[in-house]
Amino acid sequence: MTSPDHTRSSGRFRAGARRERPPAVLLVLAGLGSLLFFLPLVGLLGRVPWSDFIDLLGDEIVTEALRISLVTSLTAAALATVLGVPLAWVLSRVDFRGSSLVRAVVTLPMVLPPVVGGAALLFALGRRGVVGEWIDGATGFVFPFTIWGVILANTFVAMPFLVITVEGALNSVDRRHERAAASLGASQLTVFRRVTLPMIAPSLKAGVVLAWARAFGEFGATVTFAGNLEGRTQTLPLAIFVSLDADRDAAIVMSVLMVAVSVVVLVALRGRWWNRNPVTA
Amino acid sequence: MTRAGTAYLVAAGLLSFTSLACRGSETDDAGTAAPDGSSGRAGGTVLVAAAASLTDVIADLADAFEAVEPDVRIEASLGGSSSLVVAIEEGAPVDVFASANEEVMDRLVDDGLASDPIVFATNELVLAVPSGAAGGEVTSIDDVGRDDLFIGACASQVPCGAYTDDLLSRAGVDAAFDTRDGDVRAVVTKLVEGELDAGFVYRSDVAAFDDELDVIELSDDLRVVARYPVAALAEAPNRDGATAFVEFLTTDAAREVLDAAGFGAP
């Protein structure tokens, strides 16, 4: 079950180490574990209408949904990074009352069913929502049914993955480097930019990828908060959902497209980021 | 209004979740009809896959049925008719399928997965608006063409969306839709929350949210009536229970429950 990528990276990590046979019990459990992911993929690929594959891929519904999915998931990942890294830093470095409450609320979207998350967003930021009504009155802008609604829903569900990953990294780095920089006169912001960020770079990148992946696959919060309209708010998961019954071939082709895009991105980033010496990045 | 919406969402989520969870642990005794030898021929649990538009009425129907057949427990799994068919085709252990669309049922019959469907209820597509201060923008079918309003309906791929397309083409109106949701409940939620100025939903949905929604009456030539067929499935784990529930749906007791929920007679 090892891909060439894994073999290569593990070979690199173990370079110089004593070669030893991995314990059978771990191999068996790992094999079972990976089956859980390989079997559905095989099932999906078994249903692909290969003869019409290219035709279906070129369908405007598919290309539009792919475009909206890429735009919204990448924007959400960027927003999650810009807002999430400072949030993680505050949670890790600033001592304040209620920090554990903030942490719990921030990670709520990870446990909340996304549909409920979407409804909560509506209650807060919808046209009649607590804040949304005020925004509408002041600017005439309404989140639901716009691409910004999709981005907001995506950011809501995706950012916790980044915050948790980055906060974990911030908590485990060696603080002496930061203190040394501070004692040489660097301001807190400079220490953060020049010392802390480079040290946590690998985790930060992992967090960005996790957040992007979560946003790319987002369905429930989006459909509840932003609606579903071709060419405006319909992402690939939404397009798959509405075509699953009427046009299953199209739905399967879009699912394979999602798998392909995700695998390409994850493998490319993994090769690029995880295998490098983290600190010299 | 907001609270009702939340409660509904949470309830819907829990209902579909628990019904499947319960099912998992009870499949074993579902197939054996009245093993304890009590009165009825049917026993165990009957899993009913029901169209999303039956969400509110199905619990009442189950109560009325369980009053007659105390040995049988009804579990409902709700979703878009077409999604439910996919689940059934992929082998979900469903006993009864109640669809919002005859075409979808016919597909199951053609595939030999169901036989002898009976139409047990009808419903009507209506143009609904939030009642009170939140509504008022849409007063006729022509208003759904206005770009400055938020208009919603189901996606064309699901029955309520197909009915909407039919109605609009007969009305000769080009609607300025802001969302085409995967099932009718998503449209209802957005209407109840006042996010949409108008939406095409079923009359039964408006009956369920009497205080929050109003109907814009349309002319008779724009009437679109949905017929709800129900059938016991060929692969039903609980065949006897399934047949008993399907037969019950045509009784007067069931009719009374359906009437109260806004569903017409076949």
> Which of A127, A227, A248 has its CB closest to that of B181?
A227
Residue pair B84/B57 in contact (Cβ under 8 Å)? The answer is no
**Looking at beta carbons, which residues of chain B come within 8 Å of A140?**
none
Residue pair B117/B230 in contact (Cβ under 8 Å)? The answer is yes
Q: What pLDDT score does B229 carry?
A: 95
Please give the single-letter amino acid code of residue B183.
Answer: D
Q: What pLDDT score does A17 carry?
A: 55
Q: What pLDDT score does A78 carry?
A: 97
Contact (CB<8Å) A128/B193: yes
| Residue B30: pLDDT band with limits 50, 70, 90 | very low
> Which of A223, A226, A233 has its CB closest to that of B182?
A223
The full DSSP string for B214-244 is EEE---GGG--EEEEEEEEBTT-SSHHHHHH
Cβ of residue A228 closer than 8 Å to a chain B Cβ: yes
Task: Please give the Cα distance from B199 to B189 (Å, whole number).
Answer: 10
Helix spans in B31-80 (H): 55-68
Structure tokens that stand for B249 in this block: 């749906």
Comparing C-alpha atoms, which of A209, A251, A252 is closest to residue A234? A251
ipTM: 0.75
Q: What pLDDT score does B17 carry?
A: 37
Q: What is the pLDDT of residues A83-101, one digit of tens each?
A: 999 999 999 999 999 999 9
**Looking at beta carbons, which residues of chain A come within 8 Å of B199?**
none
Contact (CB<8Å) A229/B178: yes
Task: Please give the Cα distance from B62 to B75 (Å, whole number).
Answer: 8
Average pLDDT over residues A255-260: 94
Task: Please give the Cα distance from A246 to B82 (Å, whole number).
Answer: 7
Q: What is the pLDDT of residues B124-182, one digit of tens each?
A: 999 999 997 666 789 899 999 999 999 999 999 888 899 999 999 999 999 999 999 98
- For A125, half-sphere exposure in the C-beta direction (CA atoms, 13 angstrom radius) is 20
Element (H, E) at A97: none
Q: pTM for the whole thing? A: 0.77
Q: What is the pLDDT of residues A216-255, one digit of tens each?
A: 999 999 999 999 999 999 999 999 988 887 788 899 999 9
Classify burial at B177, counting beta carbons within 10 Å of its beta carbon; exposed 0-12, middle 13-18, buried 19 or more: buried
Task: Please give the Cα distance from B42 to B34 (Å, whole number).
Answer: 6
> Which of A123, A229, A244 has its CB closest to that of B179?
A229
Question: Nearest 10 degrees: CA dihedral of A76, A77, A83, A85?
Answer: 170
Residue pair B126/B218 in contact (Cβ under 8 Å)? The answer is yes
Task: Please give the Cα distance from B225 to B213 (Å, whole number).
Answer: 20
Comparing C-alpha atoms, which of B111, B86, B181, B87 is closest to residue A249? B86
Residue B22 has pLDDT above 80, yes or no: no
Structure tokens that stand for B83 in this block: 């999604």
What does the angle CA B25 – CA B31 – CA B32 come to, to the nearest 5 degrees? 110
DSSP state at residue B56: H
Q: What is the pLDDT of residues B210-251, one digit of tens each?
A: 899 999 989 989 999 989 999 999 999 999 999 999 999 999
Residue A7 has pLDDT above 90, yes or no: no
| Residue A272: pLDDT band with limits 50, 70, 90 | low
**Looking at beta carbons, which residues of chain B come within 8 Å of A246?**
82, 156-158
User: Minimal Cα distance from B151: which residue of A?
Assistant: A145
Cross-strand pairs, B230? B98, B118
Contact (CB<8Å) A246/B189: no
Q: What is the pLDDT of residues B59-87, one digit of tens each?
A: 999 999 999 999 999 999 998 787 889 89
Cα B248 off chain centre by: 17
A242: distance to nearest CA of chain B, Å?
A: 6
User: Minimal Cα distance from A132: which residue of B?
Assistant: B195
